[in-house]
Amino acid sequence: MQDSPTQIVFATGIATFFFGFGAGAVLNLYLTRVKSPLVEELRGSLNYVSSIVGDGVLLPVVNMVAVGLLLHEQALITGTVWSVSVFLGLCVTAYFHIVQAIRGLVNWAMPSPWHWNILGVWHAGYMFAVATLISMFFVVVALAAIDGHAPWAALAFVSAGIVVFFALLRLDYATVEWGALLPGHGRPGSP
C-alpha cells in the first residue's frame, strides 16, 4: 500500500516536530524535574524561542510545504539533485556547528566548545535532514523556474519561514554580535 501525498506531507510535519522539538522538550522537562545540572547550568531546548516556535511550529509547516512541492515536482529530482542537496545540507550543518564551537555558544547539546554530547549529535542529525530537505526544495524550485513553471507561492512561503526562523535564532543569541556568525570574526588579527 502506497502512502498518498497528503499522508507524506503530514508525516513530514509530525516527524519535523518530533525530531526537532518534541523529543527534546520531553527530555528537557524530565531533566528539569530531576534537577539535572545539564539544564540547571546550561540552556535547554525550552529556553529557546527558536526551538519552541521555530522547531515546534514554523519548521514543521515549512517542511510540509517543501515536501508538497517536491512531491509535485518529482520528475525534477535526479541523482544530481540528491547529491547537491546532501552536500548543501552537510555544509549548512557543519557551518552552524563550527561557528557554535568557535564562538563558545554552549548549551545542553554542546556543554563546552567542540564537545557535543548525544543531544548535540541528535540535533546535528536533525539539522542535516532539514537543511538537506530545504536545499533540495530550493534546487528543485530553481530547476522548475528554468523549465518556466516556478512555484512562486511555495518559494515565498518557505523563504519567509526560513528568514523568520533565523530572526528567532538571532533573538535567542541577542548577546552575540551579528558579525560573530561570519567566518573569521573574533579570531586574532580579524576585525
Report how far residue 139's alpha carbon sits from residue 69's, in angstroms, rounded to the nearest whole number: 12
pLDDT bin (cut points 50, 70, 90) of residue 186 is very low
Q: What percent of the chain has pLDDT over 70?
A: 91
> What residue segments make up the domains of the chain, in order of their start?
5-181
The per-residue pLDDT for range 115-161, each reduced to its tens digit, is 999 999 999 999 999 999 999 999 999 999 999 998 999 999 999 99
Q: To the nearest 10°, the Cα dihedral for 162, 165, 166, 172?
A: -170
pTM, two decimals, is: 0.88
pLDDT, tens only, 77-106 = 999 999 999 999 999 999 999 999 999 999
Mean pLDDT across the chain: 91
